[in-house]
Amino acid sequence: MMQSLETEEPYVGNLYQRFPVNIVKGKGCKVWDTKGKEYLDCMGGYGVALVGHCNDRVVKAITEQVQNLITCHMSVYNEVRLSFLKKFNNITPKTLHKSFFTNSGTESVEAALKFSRKFTGKNGILALNGGYHGKTFGSLSVTYNEKYRKSFLPLLQDVKFISYSEVESIFEIITKPENNIGTVIIEPIQGETGIIMPPPDFLKSVRDICTSNGRILIFDEIQSGLGRTGKMWAGQHWNVEPDIMCLAKGIAGGVPMGLTVMRAEVLDCLKVGEHSSTFAGNPLACAAGTAVIEAITEDGLVLNSEKMGKIFKKGLLELKEKYKIIRDVRGLGMMLGVEMRFDVKDILLDGIQNGILLLYSGRNILRLLPPLVMNEEEVNESLRLIEFLIQNEEKRRFG
């Protein structure tokens, strides 16, 4: 196992925090390593394995499509793409009807920022402390974490960051002429930063200010969308619809695909050639995307996410009562965070030893993004394993 991990290193640089596990197979909520050892996947491929690893519908769709057509540029028509768009339009927030295809999260954000700039004619962007939107220059400019930004300055000018507690001054910040704010970009629930929920009226207040002042509100639902939080869109928990929504991660079952979805008038203000992508809307990704939407809607995955998420969170809250190294448990549906009082690195490594993959946020938060297909038995098994890891951590810390 270690040998193949080591042989990658000379070729890939040192850009990722890597864990000593070599995965060769996945099905549903489980993955297996080269030695056949099984793991429960609460990391969920960083949220990409939304409908489960190798979901039957996705495997079938890809297998069939790959024999017919793999590439097909947006400059020509394709029926697989059209049927994806029709299916997708049935689940989008009711005012968002036009989409731009991308191939990743950061590209969905780049498109949203460009389109909003053109539509509003304003350069200024308001973003949130703790927000994460990707790492290319535009999306990095609205990403908060200094660790990601500092080596790449200067980024886009005219970006302002505020904290949730500044809700009272948002109106002034957005409307102040010298700020020239045209765009507000928000993750309805912040993922990367540790499953941070907005204060109850925050999103509604921002929505109202944007609506009454003609500003564009972008929701980055790349991590929180498509049923992840127990509703189709995380914005629905607060009854708020954006003008533009960014998607990626699990939307095509692991095939790279992103989407920037918006009100028709926003996309209609762009002219031929002002934005494009070579792989955009390719039939392989669209076939996989159609299968993912069918899985979410026909297999009842939004409801399952809500139900299993409740059981999962209740179990985690019980652990919080029992173990003092847990400081907080939060999240909705299958997007959960467990904030610890210490660094979680040893817990993650111990998890690998004991057959469960977990994700981190920052140094001290465990992030859980399990596939929405997880059943009650797998939730309980995950909880049992997490409790065992926490007991081990307490032993390491306190003897």
Ligand X SMILES: *Cc1c(COP(=O)(O)O)cnc(C)c1O
Smallest distance, ligand X to C-beta of residue 366, A? 16
CB nearer ligand X, residue 34 or residue 236: 236
Q: Which residues of 1-14 are buried (b: 16+ CB within 10 A; e: fewer)?
A: eeeeeeeeeeeeee
Residue number, 228 or 263, with CB nearest to ligand X: 228
For residue 215, the minimal CB distance to ligand X (Å) is: 20
**CA quadruple 283, 79, 91, 28: dihedral, nearest 10:** -40
Binding site for ligand X (CB under 6 A): 104-106, 132-134, 187, 191-192, 220, 222-223, 248-249
Task: Enter the DSSP assignment of 299.
Answer: T
Q: Point out the residue whose Cβ comes nearest to ligand X.
A: 105
Nearer to ligand X, 253 or 315 (CB): 253
Closest distance between ligand X and the C-beta of residue 142, in Å?
Answer: 10
| CA neighbours closer than 13 Å in the CB half-sphere of residue 316 | 27
Q: Which is nearer to ligand X, 225 or 309 (CB)?
A: 225
CA dihedral 238, 169, 186, 181 (to 10 degrees): 130
Residue closer to ligand X, measured from CB, 93 or 315 = 93
Q: How far is the CB of 375 from ligand X (least distance, A)?
A: 25
**Smallest distance from ligand X to CB 278, Å:** 17
Distances (CA, A) of 111 to 234, 262, 319: 21, 11, 42
User: What minimum distance in Å lies between the beta carbon of 16 and ligand X?
Assistant: 11
Closest CA to 371 of 84, 43, 97: 43
Collapsed DSSP state (helix, strand, coil) of residue 126: strand
- Kindly tell me which of 133 and 330 has the beta carbon lying closer to ligand X: 133
| Radius of gyration of the CA atoms of the chain, in A | 21
